[in-house]
Amino acid sequence: MRSTRRNFLTVSGAAAALALAGNLPEIRAAAAGWTGRPDRRDPFTLGVASGDPLPDAVVIWTRLAPDPLAPFGGMDRRPVEVQWQVAEDEQFHRVVRHGTAKAQPESSHSVHVDVRGLRPWRHYWYRFRVNGQLSPVGRTKTAPAYDAQLASLSLAFASCQAWWEGWYTAYADMAKRDHDVVFFLGDYIYEFGIDRGIRPHSNEPYITQQTVTLDEYRQRYAAYKLDPDLQNAHARAPWVVTLDDHEVVDNWADEAHPSAPPAQFLVRRANAFRAYWEHMPLRLAQLPKGPDMQLYRRIRYGRLAEFSVLDTRQYRSDQAYGDGTKAPGPETKDPARTITGAAQEKWLLDGWTASQSRWNVMAHQTAIARLDTKDGPEVLVPMDTWDGYEASRDRVLGGAAQRKVRNLVSIAGDLHRSVASDLKLDFTDPSSATVGAEFVGTSITSGIDGQDLDAGGATLLRENPHMKFGNFQRGYVSCTITPRQWISDYRVVDKVSVQGGTVSTRAKLLVEDGRPGISEVQQ
């Protein structure tokens, strides 16, 4: 497999490097006044976004696409200079940073500006201009100073937003709440073809066909990003993103997927990664190099919380026993198999060793807690979650216990259901030590409306005594963190199959400082 990746990069050579990487956006100083040739077409149809906040910096993003579903977004195949501003007020009376960025056709005319020299822990507003057209205004917020004693932090996390399966009512609710940061934990798009969905126009080719080529992935992102509620949620707070499987193809694992031989799959993966980077507020450090992309990284909020953002797709062993839901066995316990790869696992554990934060958070794709899905003495667990990689889980949770990691919390998605659990050293023994808490958020839309508690959720609650809460509706999780407690507010939507669904709090779950696990559930 490793030699396949080397062959891909060698055989593709300079031509592939240019096609996949292109010229990077070039930032330079600009005059304070703005001029430009008027153009009646709106180039900012996909909105604006910001991400990966630091105490002195944040990434601001847009993509020029006057005809967003057309190849190259309807743009000419030439570079375009885009002016940008960052201000301390929404009216832009106090502009503190400005410049121009070059939107390159090789990057589908996306713009990623890493704005530096900002002040910690404050709101900023940003906008772009090109050819006489102004973008929508976005609001962002920098992280606090690394040694700041933060009184509180508000965050939201979400995943799994199948466009054709419902309306983004959860994002409309998220945008109304004042979050300091949003974590998106995978399945921003879905790659597979469908017959027809709930939304108007969901039988169009840009939704129904399978995405394989770079143009097809770009078009799929554009279709999703046209949604006004998603755009509004991006424009209200910085996002920290990581991908899961459907940004490439269902249940891929490193270089392996049954849809194609490794050499062909790597080309598809390179296409998917390229389109992903083009449409996310990511730094140049995350720019893919062919089929490889550096996604795991840390985001720190003073001494209050440190977030280790993981990538559990790119380095994992192939799923045990051919994937699916199976009984655990020697293959799931094999210490040679991994879900993170050895380098990322060491990075995670070393980071915990050095951490001085009150809360230490894994922001990743899928449940690390054991999920027995079968009633009775027989145990059946999903091979695509950490259940299929038990040795990896044991090393990570055992490593956290050995290092006496303070207030370990896992936030994840993927399951299309809400699951909150205590994290155990040994999930087969209810009396085993609890080392942390896990909050798995449901999907934004994937799975359509759902219900409060389905048969599968009832089985999970019966068979997994470490599980404290379950729900099968759509929504997201809003969290408030202080030095003394973590509160997870599970926000659910009664219906995503119609516009204007009702959003409410289904449960509030509490973790107290110094007391591992979930100490209270209010429903």
The secondary structure of 128-195 as a DSSP string is: EEETTEEPPPEEEEPPPPTT---S-EEEEEE----GGG---HHHHHHHHS--SEEEE-S-SS--S--S
Burial class (CB in 10 A: 0-12, 13-18, 19+), 116: exposed
One domain for residues 450 and 470: yes
Would residue 503 be called left, alpha or beta, if left means φ above 0 and alpha means ψ between -120 and 50 degrees? beta
pLDDT of residue 498: 97
* Burial letters 379-397, b for 16+ CB under 10 A, else e: ebbbbbbbbbbbbbbbbbb
Q: Which amino acid is at 379?
A: V
* Domain annotation covers residue 273: yes
* Domain annotation covers residue 424: yes
Last residue of a domain, one of 108, 141, 174: 141
Q: In whole angstroms, what is the distance from residue 280 CA to residue 182 CA?
A: 13
One domain for residues 170 and 54: no
One domain for residues 196 and 110: no
pLDDT of residue 5: 55
Strand-pair partners of 93: none
Instruction: Give the helix/strand (H/E) hosting 510.
Output: strand 503-512
* Domain annotation covers residue 146: no
* Domain annotation covers residue 261: yes
pLDDT of residue 28: 32
Strand-pair partners of 85: 98, 127
Q: In whole angstroms, what is the distance from residue 175 CA to residue 165 CA?
A: 21
Cα three-residue angle 117-281-353, rounded to 5 degrees: 75
Q: In whole angstroms, what is the distance from residue 418 CA to residue 450 CA?
A: 11
User: Both tokens of residue 370?
Assistant: 């054991």
Q: In whole angstroms, what is the distance from residue 174 CA to residue 188 CA?
A: 16
One domain for residues 247 and 224: yes
User: Contact 298/355 with Cβ under 8 angstroms?
Assistant: no
pTM for this entry: 0.93
Q: In whole angstroms, what is the distance from residue 272 CA to residue 84 CA?
A: 28
Q: Which amino acid is at 280?
A: M
One domain for residues 389 and 277: yes
pLDDT of residue 205: 86
One domain for residues 184 and 128: no
Q: Which amino acid is at 223?
A: A
Looking at residue 348, which CATH number applies to its domain?
Answer: 3.60.21.70
Q: In whole angstroms, what is the distance from residue 215 CA to residue 275 CA?
A: 8
One domain for residues 124 and 172: no
User: Both tokens of residue 18?
Assistant: 């240019």
* Domain annotation covers residue 90: yes
One domain for residues 122 and 234: no
pLDDT of residue 12: 40
Last residue of a domain, one of 109, 141, 173: 141
Q: In whole angstroms, what is the distance from residue 125 CA to residue 132 CA?
A: 19
Q: Under 8 Å CB-to-CB from 435, ≥6 apart: which residues? A: 397, 400, 401, 405, 408, 423, 424, 425, 516
> What DSSP character marks residue 425?
S
Other C-beta atoms closer than 10 Å to the C-beta of 238 total 26
Looking at residue 101, which CATH number applies to its domain?
Answer: 2.60.40.380
What is the Cα Rg of the chain in Å? Answer: 22
Closest CA to 282 of 309, 249, 304, 305: 309
pLDDT of residue 236: 98
Last residue of a domain, one of 85, 109, 141: 141
Q: Which amino acid is at 437?
A: A
One domain for residues 137 and 166: no
Domain containing 99 equals: 2-141
Q: In whole angstroms, what is the distance from residue 162 CA to residue 427 CA?
A: 32
3-class DSSP string for 216-248 = HHHHHHHHHHCCHHHHHHHHHCCEEECCCCCCC
One domain for residues 102 and 158: no
Q: In whole angstroms, what is the distance from residue 502 CA to residue 204 CA?
A: 28
* Domain annotation covers residue 210: yes
User: Both tokens of residue 1?
Assistant: 């497999």
One domain for residues 116 and 51: yes
What is the count of structural domains for the chain? Answer: 2
Closest CA to 392 of 346, 453, 431, 357: 346
User: Contact 315/344 with Cβ under 8 angstroms?
Assistant: yes
* Domain annotation covers residue 342: yes
The torsion of the CA quartet 397, 401, 403, 404, rounded to 10 degrees, works out to 130
One domain for residues 167 and 125: no
* Burial letters 422-459, b for 16+ CB under 10 A, else e: bbbeebeeeeeebbbbbbbbbbbbbbbbbeeebeebeb
User: Both tokens of residue 486?
Assistant: 């973590």
Instruction: Give the helix/strand (H/E) hosting 11.
Output: helix 2-21
Closest CA to 187 of 230, 233, 244: 244
Q: Under 8 Å CB-to-CB from 254, ≥6 apart: which residues? A: 1, 313, 314, 315, 316, 317, 318
> What DSSP character marks residue 317?
P
Q: Which amino acid is at 451?
A: Q
Instruction: Give the helix/strand (H/E) hosting 468.
Output: strand 467-481
* Domain annotation covers residue 147: no
Mean pLDDT of successive 10-residue segments in the chain (523 residues)? 47 36 32 41 96 98 97 94 98 98 97 98 98 96 97 98 97 97 98 88 89 97 98 98 98 95 96 98 97 98 98 98 97 98 98 97 98 97 98 98 97 98 96 98 97 97 98 98 98 97 97 94 77
Strand-pair partners of 520: 510
Pairing assessment for the beta strands 95-103 and 110-115 based on DSSP bridges = unpaired
Q: In whole angstroms, what is the distance from residue 300 CA to residue 309 CA?
A: 11
